[in-house]
Amino acid sequence: MTETDTHDGAIVKLPESVTSLAQPASIAEIELMVRRAEFMGEKLDQLRKIAVARTFPSDWILFGKEVYLEANGAFRLHPIIGFSLTNVQKQVEVDDGGVVMVTMTGDASS
């Protein structure tokens, strides 16, 4: 055992081999977390299916190998996923050739 000072000046004794204060989860706790994660995954999948079903094929475009949702489709999803966009910022650049590039950023959550 070793001794150490606390904030109030009291001396407490510590064990020699303290490596971690975290307690390992019990099997029951792990099972609960797994069931919870599975349930959450199922519900999120259901929510996504409902959300996608509100869109139209014309809301989706193929660019390269991936599909992209267009803005009209995005607006159709918002009532389902509870979309929020804040801190929107705009940067406009004009190069020598007259090409205008507008870059917009923001914080999104749902």
Partner 1 sequence: MESAAYKGLVARATQLVAGLSGITPEELRDRYGMTVGGSVQFKTGAADARKADQATAGNERADIERLLVKLSDGDAKFAEEILVKLTENPSKGWAGKKRASELTENGVKFVLRELLKREAEFDSVESTKN
Cα gap 42→35, rounded to integer Å: 11
Q: How far is the CB of 27 from partner 1 (least distance, A)?
A: 30
Cα gap 71→60, rounded to integer Å: 10
Does 40 sit near partner 1 (CB under 8 A)?
A: no
Q: How far is the CB of 39 from partner 1 (least distance, A)?
A: 16
Size of the site for partner 1 (CB under 8 A): 49
Strand partners, 103: 91
Cβ proximity to partner 1, 24 vs 97, nearer residue: 97
Q: Are the CB atoms for 69 and 79 separated by under 8 Å? A: no
Strand partners, 74: none
Q: Are the CB atoms for 74 and 67 separated by under 8 Å? A: no
Does 106 sit near partner 1 (CB under 8 A)?
A: yes
Site for partner 1 in 41-100 (CB under 8 A): 44, 48-49, 51-53, 55-63, 65-71, 73-75, 77-78, 81, 83, 85, 88, 90, 92-93, 95-100
Question: How many Cα atoms are found within 13 Å in the side-chain-facing hemisphere of 91?
Answer: 5
Residues near partner 1 (CB under 8 A):
44, 48-49, 51-53, 55-63, 65-71, 73-75, 77-78, 81, 83, 85, 88, 90, 92-93, 95-106, 108-110
